[in-house]
Amino acid sequence: MAYSRPIGGEDLVVTFYGVRGSTPCNGPEVARYGGNTSCVAVEIPGQPPVLFDLGTGLRYFGRTCPDDQPLKASCLIGHLHWDHIQGLPFFQPLLREGGEFHIYAPMQEDGRSAYDVLKSTITPPMFPVELHGIPSSLHFHDIVDADFTIGSADSPVSVMARRVPHVGLALGYRVTWGGVSVTYLSDHQQPQGGFFADSSVRELCDGTDLLIHDAQYLPHEFASKADWGHCTAEFAVWLAEETGARRLALFHHDPDHDDDCVDEILASARAMATSVDVIAASERTSVTVPAR
C-alpha cells in the first residue's frame, strides 16, 4: 500500500524544504533561511502529498518519509530550469519499488516534453543512473494552461495551472481543497516601468489563502537584471494586496543574499503591506492553512 502522509485535523500544512533560487548555497550566513533550491510540500488530510518543484530541497523532504513504505505523490513543476529539478535523482523514495509519482510540467516551446528533458539530464555522464532505471513509477503529464484534479477520487484536490511571465515557458499553480487555496509563483518576471499583472497571474492569486511568491531581487538589483525573470519583494506585496491574498510568503531568495539581507527584505515588505500578512519562507518551517 502506497504511503500518503497522515496529518491531524482538517487543515492544509505547507512545509518549505528548499527556498533558494538559481543555485544551492551553504554556510553560516544562510543557515537560518536555508540554502536548498525550490521544493515545497503541501500536506492535505487523507491525501498523498503535493510537491511544488523538485529542487535540492526534495532530498530533505524524502528523508521525512518512512523507509518501509512506497510513497505516492503529485509533483507540480513550475518550469524545467536546473534549480527546480536537480533534486529528483537524489530523492530516496524513488528507489523503492511500488512508489508512484505523477509529474506535471510545461511542454517546452520547442516541443520537448518534461520526460524528454529529464531523460536527457538524468543519464550518464551527468548522472550514473538513467531515468528509466528508477524503481518507482513515474507518470508524466505535459500541461500549459490547464485545470485538473489530483489525489483521492472521493475528495479530489483541484489544481489550476497558468502561464506566468519568466524566461521561457513557466507555470504558476493554485491548489484548492477544503475551501482553501495555496498559490505558487516561484519565478515571476516583474514588469518594467510600473506594477501590473497578467490576467493569468491574477486568476492564480485572486483571494488565495497563501501566496508563495518570487522575491529574489532588491530594487537596485532589479534595475540591472530587469529581464532575468524575477522580481522584488515590493512587487510581490503589491500583487498580494492587489489580488486579495491573505498571506504572502517571500520565496526564491537570491543565493547572494545572506540571512541578514533576507531579514531586511522581510522588514521592508512588512512595512509596505497594509492588508496582507507577510513572512519569508524558511526551510523546515511550516505554515498551517485552516480549512473553512
- pLDDT for residue 167: 84
Q: How many domains would you assign to the chain?
A: 1
Range of the domain at 224: 12-289
Q: From start to end of 206-259, where are the E strands? A: 210-214, 247-251
Residues 139-190: pLDDT tens digits? 999 999 999 999 887 889 999 999 998 988 899 999 999 899 999 999 999 9
Contact present, 138 and 101 (Cβ < 8 Å): yes
Q: Is the residue at 1 inside a domain?
A: no
User: 165 or 61, which is more confident?
Assistant: 61
Identify the CA nearest to 7 among candidates 249, 178, 175.
178
* CATH code of 60's domain: 3.60.15.10
Q: Is the residue at 92 inside a domain?
A: yes
The count of other CB atoms within 10 Å of the CB of residue 246 is 16
Q: Is the residue at 4 inside a domain?
A: no
**How much is the pTM?**
0.95
Q: Is the residue at 189 inside a domain?
A: yes
Residues 84-95: pLDDT tens digits? 999 999 999 998
Q: How far apart, in whole angstroms, are the C-alpha atoms of residue 116 and residue 181?
A: 31
Q: Is the residue at 48 inside a domain?
A: yes
Buried b (16+ CB within 10 A) or exposed e, 77-105: bbbbbebbbbbbbebebbebeebebbbbb
